[in-house]
Amino acid sequence: DIGMTQSPDSLAVSLGERATINCKSSQSVLYRSTQRNCLAWYQQKPGQPPKLLISWASTRENGVPDRFSGSGSGTDFTLTISSLQAEDVAVYYCHQYFSAPLTFGGGTKVEIK
């Protein structure tokens, strides 16, 4: 199984400041045939299902604000919110879809300082 470890568990950032969330996989999730990393990021607000923000480690979904960006390769990944807005308060999860069982990080709770 590929373990996904997120850090920090929680994060308090001032409005307009940068938030950075890290995700580390226990094995590489790089799919060599396409040279793409099988890593997604989700945002979950209270009482709602997770919403996909980023796939292939860095491809932002349609409609996702460009303040959200994903980076990294192999086993180390980062989700960055460049300028935190009030509506970004949520729990963020990384997810590997490289191999079964599919696994998720433990989540990072982002709050306003």
Partner 1 sequence: EVVLVESGGGLGKPGGSLRLSCAASGFTFGSYAMGWVRQAPGKGLEWVSSVSGSGGSTYYAESVRGRFVISRDNSKNTLFLEMNSLRAGDTAVYYCAKHYGDDWRLNWLDPWGQGTLVTVSS
Q: Which positions lie near partner 1, rule CB under 8 A?
A: 31, 38, 40, 42, 48-52, 55, 61, 93, 95, 97-107
| Nearest of 94, 110, 111 to residue 102 by alpha carbon | 94
> What is the distance between the alpha carbons of residues 68 and 85, in angstroms, rounded to a whole number?
11
Least distance from C-beta 59 to partner 1, angstroms?
10
- Within 10 angstroms of residue 113's Cβ, the number of other Cβ atoms is 9
- Minimum distance of partner 1 from residue 107's CB (angstroms): 5
Closer residue to partner 1 in complex, CB, 83/99: 99
Pick 19 or 57: Cβ nearer partner 1:
57
Nearer to partner 1, 61 or 76 (CB): 61
Q: Judge contact between 82 and 60, C-beta under 8 A.
A: no
